[in-house]
């Protein structure tokens, strides 16, 4: 199949899953074309059957902000006809599914099927904003196929947007060759001594991730058991996190690592992974921690309950339910189903 994929190229669950899906599909012989404004995060090496098409926006005096949605639609239409795309797989309803709908109106060649994968904040935050409600609902309904990364998110989408079309649940996945208990290339002693425990957290440091709660929880852990906290990622609440660390006198206990391309090199060093998010549609960071053999504590009442099972062996559970081979098979089957009408 010739497949186009559009995602946000920055660090985050949706972009990571989209990128790794494209890599897996290319390995299986499909021709995959990424269409985005920048090279996707983790698309960090050459691979046969894998191509990138950059979207350029024009700075024009009448525009307060460059019209990315229109530029993306135009680039999609160009790539569709140039490479005979059969599937255009977009990750996030806004603006990617909207751009895909516009692209279908532009093409003079055979029109591809559009599949929209919902990842979470496009529904729970962006889509639920009254000013985006109608366009989000329209863009989802205009798709030829819809998937969600958890049953929790699928139900939330049906309830919020009154969607009657079928939503296929295809969970996120991990690459077992990359994420495993032996993938650590750093040294545990780089972070802690032999008598200290290591706690880790990965996120985009947005309010929904409750980074202040992560630090407060760690403070209680550290008082009972001498520990170090590894904070991986960047975002708007990073400065608040640093202030909270100072208030708690934890400057010598908390290590800010910023964004990391290879989190699998660090995760196996942890004894515990914290993800107490207010909202988590799936929790890819939690899955990657489990794959590295690290137990996870997260919020109940979110999509994390589909990832974590109490008392289970972390690595075995993740490998049984979320290995790349199993999940990519599901995407291929879904593509064929949509292509066959």
Q: Where are the domains of the chain?
A: 2-173+324-339, 188-321
> By the 8 A CB rule, do 201 and 231 touch?
yes
Q: What is the average per-residue pLDDT within 3-25?
A: 89
Sequence-distant (≥ 6) Cβ neighbours of residue 21 within 8 angstroms: 5, 89, 328, 331
Distance (Å, whole) CA 323 – CA 37: 29
Predicted local confidence at residue 128, as pLDDT: 55
Angle among Cα 262, 268, 120 to the nearest 5 degrees reads 60
Predicted local confidence at residue 225, as pLDDT: 94
Mean pLDDT highest for which of 60-69, 75-84, 178-187, 303-312? 75-84
Is the predicted pLDDT of residue 12 greater than 80, yes or no?
no
Q: What is the CATH number of domain 188-321?
A: 3.40.50.2000
- Give residue 312's pLDDT band: very low, low, confident or very high (50, 70, 90): confident
Predicted local confidence at residue 218, as pLDDT: 97
Which CATH number applies to 2-173+324-339: 3.40.50.2000, 2.40.10.120, 2.40.30.10, 3.40.50.2300? Answer: 3.40.50.2000
Predicted local confidence at residue 97, as pLDDT: 95
Predicted local confidence at residue 211, as pLDDT: 96
Is the predicted pLDDT of residue 126 greater than 70, yes or no?
no
Is the predicted pLDDT of residue 145 greater than 60, yes or no?
yes
Is the predicted pLDDT of residue 127 greater than 80, yes or no?
no
Name which residue leads in pLDDT, 62 or 175: 175
Predicted local confidence at residue 313, as pLDDT: 78
Among 163, 153, 168, 154, which Cα is nearest to 283's? 153
Predicted local confidence at residue 65, as pLDDT: 74
Percentage of residues in the chain with pLDDT exceeding 90?
A: 66
Q: Which residues of 53-72 are buried (b: 16+ CB within 10 A; e: fewer)?
A: bebeeeeeeeeeeeeebebb
Report in angstroms the alpha-carbon separations of 252 from 193, 230, 284, 307. 13, 11, 29, 32
> One fold for both 2-173+324-339 and 188-321?
yes
């Amino acid at each position: 199949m010739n497949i186009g994929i559009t995602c946000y190229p920055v660090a985050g669950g949706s972009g990571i899953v989209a990128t790794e899906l494209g890599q897996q599909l290319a390995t299986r012989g499909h021709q995959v074309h990424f269409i985005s404004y920048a090279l996707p995060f983790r698309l960090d090496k050459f691979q046969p059957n894998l191509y990138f098409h950059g979207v350029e926006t024009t700075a024009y005096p009448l525009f307060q902000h460059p019209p990315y949605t229109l530029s993306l639609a135009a680039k999609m239409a160009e790539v569709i006809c140039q490479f005979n795309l059969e599937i255009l797989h977009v990750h996030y309803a806004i603006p990617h599914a909207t751009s895909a709908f516009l692209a279908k109106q532009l093409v003079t060649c055979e029109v591809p099927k559009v599949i929209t994968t919902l990842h979470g904040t496009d529904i729970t935050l962006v889509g639920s904003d009254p000013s985006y409600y109608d366009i989000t609902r329209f863009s989802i309904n205009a798709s030829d196929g819809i998937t969600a990364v958890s049953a929790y998110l699928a139900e939330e989408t049906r309830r919020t947007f009154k969607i009657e079309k079928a939503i296929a649940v295809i969970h996120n996945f991990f690459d077992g060759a990359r994420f495993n208990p032996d993938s650590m290339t750093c040294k545990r002693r780089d972070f802690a001594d032999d008598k200290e425990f290591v706690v880790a957290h990965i996120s985009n440091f947005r309010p929904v991730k409750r980074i202040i709660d992560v630090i407060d929880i760690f403070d209680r852990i550290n008082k009972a058991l001498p520990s170090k906290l590894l904070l991986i990622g960047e975002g708007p609440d990073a400065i608040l996190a640093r202030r909270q660390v100072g208030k708690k006198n934890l400057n010598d206990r908390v290590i800010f690592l910023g964004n990391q391309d290879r989190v699998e090199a660090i995760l196996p060093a942890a004894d515990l992974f914290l993800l107490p998010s207010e909202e988590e549609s799936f929790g890819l960071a939690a899955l990657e921690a489990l794959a590295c053999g690290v137990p996870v504590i997260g919020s109940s009442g979110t999509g994390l309950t589909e990832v974590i099972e109490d008392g289970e062996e972390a690595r075995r559970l993740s490998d049984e339910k979320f290995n790349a081979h199993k999940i990519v098979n599901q995407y291929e089957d879904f593509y064929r189903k949509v292509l066959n009408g």
